[in-house]
Amino acid sequence: MSLDVFKLDGRVALITGGNRGLGFAMAQALADAGANVVVTSRQEDRAMKSAATLATITGQRTLGIAVNITDAAQIESMIQTVVNEFGRIDILVNNAGINIRKPVEELDEASWDLVQDTNLKAPFLCSRAAARHMKEHGGGSIVNCASIAGINAGAGLASYRASKAAVIHLSRSMAIDLAQYQIRVNCIAPGQIQTGMTSYDLDAVIRFTQPLQRHGGTDDVANAVVYLASDRSAQVTGILLPIDGGTTAGPPASQLKLMLGAASERQE
């Protein structure tokens, strides 16, 4: 079996929020697979710097674009810039997102709107604009970044969880609508991933929630994106792929034993 199906030579990939963290790892992985990559940021200097770094690391052609992804006109201009520069767009990764951590009773309307506009409306607007050009070249791949927070509920993240749950269903709906044009739409749901921006005790979270009991890294997510962007996944559309060490499957065996032990003690 040839691994050439994972190659993305000659293809053009756009990664929103690709200037740092998970987005940068995705952009680098796509470039390593042969794609020319475009990364975005709200700040032009960050976008340009990240694009230059990617070009140096991978040897691929890159471009940095400053854009506010909650603005429909700027999104249309961004996609047109990519097409003007590279002649096409084959891969779109809707990665940019925001989280405002507040309990429901303290969550103001402006914060709610900002999270929904960034995490939900932006992927819709970017996908709609990119799909128009993908149709002209016989198809493409769109990967939307949700989260296991869109699958499981929890305290203090109502706006974020609602936006990510909606992205999951938006992805499925777009997959059906765009299949006739050979545009595949899939969704990933990262769990607890170790990045330079992780600000909590990841070991403790993993110990109590994750069956595999290991740190997930940016490469784990980036590799999944390469798979979904490549011809290896040519028959895959409309799926949700959790990258979470089994967290959404259920608690780790150690925690199950503790729970069963506690239940046994109460019965006695």
Do the strands 216-217 and 12-15 form a parallel or antiparallel pair, or are they unpaired?
A: unpaired
Q: Quote the CA–CA distance of 263 and 268 in Å, as a whole number.
A: 9
200 is catalytic: no
Alpha-carbon gap, residue 141 to 257, rounded angstroms: 42
* Catalytic hit among 160, 181, 200, 227: 160
What does each C-alpha distance from 212 to 151, 192, 194, 244, 258 come to in angstroms?
A: 19, 12, 15, 9, 17
Dihedral (Cα; 113, 116, 117, 118), 10-degree rounding: 120
Given a contact cutoff of 8 angstroms between Cβ atoms, the answer to whether 151 and 187 are in contact is no
Backbone angles phi, psi at 38, to 5 degrees: -120, 130
Annotated catalytic sites, by residue?
A: 160
